[in-house]
Amino acid sequence: MLEGLGSVSKIPELQRRILFTILLLAVYRVGVYIPTPGIDNVALLAYFEQAKGSLFGLMDMFAGGAFSHFSIFALGIMPYISASIILQLLTIAVPHLERLSKEGETGRRKITQYTRYGTVLLSMIQGFGIAYGLQQMAGPSGSPIVLQSGWSFIMLTVITLTSGTAFIMWLGETITEKGVGNGISLIIFAGIVCRMPAAIGNTYRLAIAGELGVLIILLITALMILVVGAIVFVEAGQRRIPVQYAKRIVGRKMFGGQTTHLPLKVNTSGVIPPIFASSVIMFPATIATFAHEGWIKNIAGYLVPGKIGYEVLYVAFIFFFCFFYTAVTFKPDDVAENMKKFGGYVPGIRPGKKTAEYIENVLEKLTFSGAIYVSLVCVLPSVLISQLNVPFYFGGTALLIVVGVAMDTASQIESHLLTRQYEGFMKKGHIARRR
């Protein structure tokens, strides 16, 4: 791998892409600490210390700490992700979007344009809701979070947050086009990874104070290596269905007659299920922060990470969204129809409906295995914190994103090396690209 990294210095274009990516990520991290006008940051930070188990904590994780500081990037890239998911779901219900999704590059550009419009719209709606809600909130000491309430504050906040999200969206697309790729994912990656130094420092202080023993630290380190290795293994894993193409003669040329495979990932839905599951379960905890009724706060008290009620619901929702999102994004009938159209078939399976049923059966088994894997990784933080007294979260959605993005980025860099006839990072084998 060290020799592969050394090959990067031999490609000026790749060097420029990497430096350009680092520069834009640095711009993003600077913007995280530029505050939105009209906010008492001390009262806001104190309030967020009490709201870690709510949707605010989840949003703050994806915003890289920008939400707790209520900076110009407070909404982060989540509106863009939400708009992308909404458009994906609408492609099955809206014929126009379904046609666009099948028109190749032209259709993708049009859908990307719709995604941008949806991002701005969602940012305006979320910015208005957050600005209005902040006016009703106060810090633990009773001091108001908003220094001067009114429509002027709401309008200024909406414009600031929407502009910040639009700028992050531009950063992500620019990194994808002129950097190493995966711009949106790298922005989320940077926001999550930037918290690692503070977590390491906190662990060191606890170790010095004697609150964490050497044996516990070694156990945590070994477990971290084991979990990361397991995630890499599963994310790169595929179930390859053999596909045989019959020979066809078109004019004087012969086509087909080759054997290939249909790759199916173990975790087809990626990180979408834990994100959706966390959002649904944390919604009551978020409502409880605004409500004053005791019974609402009692219910929300059972739905916080570490409680048995939260963990059971979390796993149940992960299973539901794994199957739901896989069913929405992968169509066995369309795959079987395309295979039949080009003369392809699975050996031993009749083309058409029987092939679709076979692919769907394999996909259901893989999705079930993937849901178990995602559930284990996502429940891990609560187990570590409750049993080993770990001072930081390790696992869950954040770990899936970090490892997945790291694999994709390494694969992108390796593809640049291979196109210029370098060996890549590894002498034996290659980094599998996640599909």
d(CA 49, CA 36): 19
d(CA 372, CA 381): 16
- pLDDT tops 70 at residue 395: no
CB atoms closer than 10 angstroms to residue 416? 19
Q: Is residue 284 assigned to a domain?
A: yes
Question: Does one domain contain both 121 and 245?
Answer: no
- pLDDT tops 80 at residue 349: yes
Per DSSP, which regions of 101-237 are E strands?
A: none
Q: Is residue 205 assigned to a domain?
A: no
Q: Is residue 403 assigned to a domain?
A: no
Higher pLDDT, 308 or 384: 308
User: To the nearest whole percent, how much of the chain has pLDDT over 70?
Assistant: 78
For 350, list phi and psi in degrees, rounded to 5. Answer: -70, 140
d(CA 132, CA 50): 20
Q: CB pairs under 8 A, 24+ apart, for 223-231?
A: 223/384, 224/394, 227/377, 227/380, 227/394, 227/395, 227/399, 228/399, 228/403, 230/377, 231/377, 231/399, 231/400, 231/403, 231/404
Owning domain of residue 300: 213-394
d(CA 324, CA 89): 11
Average pLDDT over residues 371-395: 73
Q: Which H or E run contains 388?
A: helix 353-388
Question: Does one domain contain both 50 and 187?
Answer: yes
3 closest CA partner among 433, 431, 426: 426
Q: How many structural domains are present in the chain?
A: 2
Residue found by looking up tokens 């620019």 in the block: 174
Question: Does one domain contain both 273 and 332?
Answer: yes
Q: Residue 52 has what pLDDT? A: 59
Q: Is residue 301 assigned to a domain?
A: yes
Question: Does one domain contain both 161 and 290?
Answer: no
Are 51 and 60 contacting, i.e. CB atoms less than 8 angstroms apart?
no
Question: Does one domain contain both 325 and 187?
Answer: no
- pLDDT tops 60 at residue 144: yes
Higher pLDDT, 306 or 159: 159
Which DSSP category does 391 fall into? S
How far from the centroid of its chain's Cα atoms is residue 284's Cα? 22
Higher pLDDT, 229 or 414: 229
85 Cβ partners below 8 Å, 6+ apart? 272
pLDDT tens digit sequence for 329-338: 888 888 888 8
Q: Residue 210 has what pLDDT? A: 75
Q: Within 13 A of 338's CA, how many CA atoms are on the CB side?
A: 8
Our CA angle for 191, 197, 198, nearest 5°, is 90
Question: Does one domain contain both 188 and 228?
Answer: no
Question: Does one domain contain both 49 and 3?
Answer: yes
Higher pLDDT, 85 or 23: 23
Are 7 and 18 contacting, i.e. CB atoms less than 8 angstroms apart?
no
- pLDDT tops 60 at residue 431: no
Q: Is residue 31 assigned to a domain?
A: yes
Question: Does one domain contain both 78 and 113?
Answer: yes
Question: Does one domain contain both 82 and 224?
Answer: no
Question: Does one domain contain both 117 and 225?
Answer: no
- pLDDT tops 80 at residue 256: no
Q: Within 13 A of 423's CA, how many CA atoms are on the CB side?
A: 11
The pTM (predicted TM-score) of the whole model is 0.77
Q: Is residue 292 assigned to a domain?
A: yes
Q: Residue 89 has what pLDDT? A: 78
Largest separation between any pair of C-alpha atoms in the chain: 84
Higher pLDDT, 313 or 428: 313
429 closest CA partner among 412, 416, 411: 411
Q: Is residue 182 assigned to a domain?
A: yes
Q: Within 13 A of 178's CA, how many CA atoms are on the CB side?
A: 11
The mean pLDDT value of the chain amounts to 79
Question: Does one domain contain both 242 and 382?
Answer: yes
Are 286 and 343 contacting, i.e. CB atoms less than 8 angstroms apart?
no
Q: Tell whether the torsion through CA atoms of 74, 313, 311 and 189 is positive or negative.
A: negative
